[in-house]
Structure 1
Amino acid sequence: MNNNCMEAGKLYQKIGVVKNLLALDLMSRNPGDRVLPISEYQDKFGVSRGTIQNAFACLKECNAITLENHGHQGTCIKEIDYKKLQENCMRREILGIMPLPYSVTYEGFATAMYLQFAPLNFNMAYARGAVGRIELVESGTYHFAVCSQYAAEQSIKEGKQIEAAINFGPGSFLSRHVLLMSDSRYDSIQDGMRIAYDSSSIDQSCITRNIIHGKKVTLVPIRAQQTVNALMDGIIDAGVWNYDDIQEHKHESLNVVFLDNFEYNNLFSTAVMVIRKEEEYLKSLLKKYISVPKVVEIINEVREKKREPYF
């Protein structure tokens, strides 16, 4: 009797897994599309014909899909409810987290995410510091986080159970970081200077360590976003910051120094979407709905004032 219960439990579990996979597969389809033959789903998911049929029955019962038999032409999708399909392959809405949208590039990125995920239940949160954002993904609080490729790779090296699901290419996170200095007489860090340091920002803290190497300086713990104000208020002498923000807000009184290649590389300017390691269902979903060229196009349109930001 106990063995029968265990076998039944395994069967229901298998149907549930296949239902998730099937729902994920159907989310990329449209009304009128032909459904793959049962035999193809058998090969795709490695299960029996009956398991596939039961999974389809579950999705039809909850009104996620309505199918129509067209005889020799096969079975087609008559109606499809993407949000109900989503409920069958995810426990809740898709939740992402990215940097605070203080620059036009981040505004463009947030706009692109909402447009790309428009057919689904989706929400984006905003928080400073890649360290915190990555921890929130690793804990399962958020499905994905947006950070630089450098921050993702560094976190993985340190043992974080995450992976980069999508890479958006150089310039997608920001144009570049620069060194801001209060004194126009200098173009590099000098001994005795007070330097902004944000330990919660993997990028800013790493670049800062690179440029102060061998110098006798004082590190002043402040948030990266406060760098400009801290310079103007005389709290620090120099700090690393986002060049996009400098251009947008025209901080002409500050001395902007571009960093050498050995101090800086494209990994800092490249946006990636990180997820928990081995979340294959989620990775497949993101790749189906996110078009990297389209995201880059939307970012550029917002940058060039051709599109109003929406997030």
Structure 2
Amino acid sequence: MREMANKEGVATRRVALALCDNALGKRIPTVSELEKGCGVSRGYVQKALANLKEGGAIVLETHGQSGTLLVDIDYLALARSCGVSHIVGAMPLPYTARYEGLATSLFTLLNADGFRAYITFQRGSEGRVQTLLDGSTDYCVMSRLAYTGYAQRGYKIQIALDCGPHSYVGRHVLFSRDSERTDWTGARVGIDDSSVDQRTLTERYFSGIDVEYVPVQYTHIVDMLRAGILDAGIWNEDDVHMRYPELSARPVDIEDKDADNTRAVIVVRSDDALMRQVLRTLVDKEQVREIQQQVMDGEITVRY
């Protein structure tokens, strides 16, 4: 989210952020509390509240000793009052129909109500989450498995929306040329440190086995298998199983059909409650899945 340059704009955005998680019917912070919490003067807090009310973003009622209550809030109007007119997201490279469908659904749903949406594409969740944290993007898309890994490492990010099972990948599989091999001792296994999913699933699958991990970019796994450089590698079945029938594919997550590695989540910075609410307002999970499936079935044209 991008701050308005002038002091009044900055105050409006900070007050708006302070109100984002205020429950309807509950007391909002006092002017003195907002002055301290937002780091702006009393006069600018009052101007910010007036701007938000005049813009139709909030409806307030004064109740004497009970304070001022938040009666209604329009998160889209709140964002516009803060000068937000466009939303930028980061997604995986659209190399599968499932990713194309997800990109199309987000592009379609976010280009609404006067907002303009743009999507950048980056290989590896590490790059995407860094663009989010440095403010280059407003949200990024990753698997729920990757999100859990980043959250456990202390990254200041939060899920705005979980798109449900199989919205990210159909399943991950272990690719190899030898369909009969069961003893992986000494096997050369591709591992991509830029992808939390691929690295985590690989380490989980081969846990306790003495294998040789070979650093790769996940997009090169198939070519390296075909060239004999790798013996095995885990990746997304959506992309390759139909084009390379000579490869053996073994499911990685047989027991959990709703596994976190198959679920796409839309992630925002933890301190950006406004963008979290804007995304939740504009993006409906069922609509995402419907548009995604229509793209995968060839019923609508890809657009992002």
Relative to the length of structure 1, the TM-score reads 0.74
Tell me if 1:250 matches 2:237. no
Tell me if 1:298 matches 2:294. no
* C-alpha deviation, 1:259, in angstroms: 2.3
SS of 1:151's equivalent?
helix
Q: Of 176, 184, 187, which residue of structure 2 is paired with 1:190?
A: 184
Paired with 1:17 and 1:42, the residues of 2 have a C-alpha distance of 21
Paired with 2:177 and 2:186, the residues of 1 have a C-alpha distance of 14
Q: Of 134, 141, 144, which residue of structure 2 is paired with 1:139?
A: 134
Superposed CA deviations along residues 124-179 of structure 1, whole A, max 9, x for unmatched, are 00001112211221222211110000110110110101111111111010111000
Unaligned runs of 5+ in 1: 1-8, 25-40, 65-81
Tell me if 1:236 matches 2:230. yes
Tell me if 1:215 matches 2:209. yes
* Residue matched to 1:226: 220
Paired with 1:89 and 1:206, the residues of 2 have a C-alpha distance of 39
Tell me if 1:279 matches 2:272. yes
Q: Of 163, 167, 172, which residue of structure 2 is paired with 1:172?
A: 167
Aligned-pair identity (%): 27
Q: Of 254, 262, 265, which residue of structure 2 is paired with 1:269?
A: 262
Q: Is the 8 A contact 1:20 1:89 kept in 2?
A: no
* C-alpha deviation, 1:295, in angstroms: 0.2
* C-alpha deviation, 1:89, in angstroms: 2.4
Paired with 2:17 and 2:208, the residues of 1 have a C-alpha distance of 55
Structure with max Cα Rg: 1
Paired with 1:12 and 1:243, the residues of 2 have a C-alpha distance of 48
Relative to the length of structure 2, the TM-score reads 0.76
Change (3 A) 1:19 1:236: closer
SS of 1:179's equivalent?
strand
* C-alpha deviation, 1:87, in angstroms: 5.0
Paired with 1:216 and 1:263, the residues of 2 have a C-alpha distance of 26
Q: Of 97, 111, 116, which residue of structure 2 is paired with 1:118?
A: 111
Q: Is the 8 A contact 2:122 2:128 kept in 1?
A: yes
* Residue matched to 2:70: none
* C-alpha deviation, 1:308, in angstroms: 1.7
Letter in 1 for 2:260: L
Paired with 2:133 and 2:104, the residues of 1 have a C-alpha distance of 25
Letter in 1 for 2:299: K
Superposed CA deviations along residues 4-57 of structure 1, whole A, max 9, x for unmatched, are xxxxx99886556557899x9xxxxxxxxxxxxxxxx99775578x75883168
Paired with 1:106 and 1:94, the residues of 2 have a C-alpha distance of 19
Superposed CA deviations along residues 70-105 of structure 1, whole A, max 9, x for unmatched, are xxxxxxxxxxxx8x9855325562110010000000
* Residue matched to 1:35: none
Change (3 A) 1:13 1:111: closer
Paired with 2:164 and 2:176, the residues of 1 have a C-alpha distance of 29
SS of 1:163's equivalent?
strand
Q: Is the 8 A contact 1:97 1:125 kept in 2?
A: yes
Q: Is the 8 A contact 1:19 1:59 kept in 2?
A: no
Change (3 A) 1:13 1:197: closer
Tell me if 1:309 matches 2:298. no
* Residue matched to 1:103: 96
Paired with 1:191 and 1:57, the residues of 2 have a C-alpha distance of 67
Greater mean alpha carbon deviation, residues 105-114 or residues 86-95: 86-95
Superposed CA deviations along residues 203-244 of structure 1, whole A, max 9, x for unmatched, are 100111112122222111111111111111111111001011
Paired with 2:51 and 2:18, the residues of 1 have a C-alpha distance of 9
Q: Of 107, 125, 130, which residue of structure 2 is paired with 1:130?
A: 125
Q: Is the 8 A contact 1:18 1:45 kept in 2?
A: no
Q: Is the 8 A contact 1:19 1:58 kept in 2?
A: no
RMSD (Å) for aligned C-alpha atoms: 3.4
SS of 2:155's equivalent?
coil
Q: Of 48, 51, 58, which residue of structure 2 is paired with 1:55?
A: 51
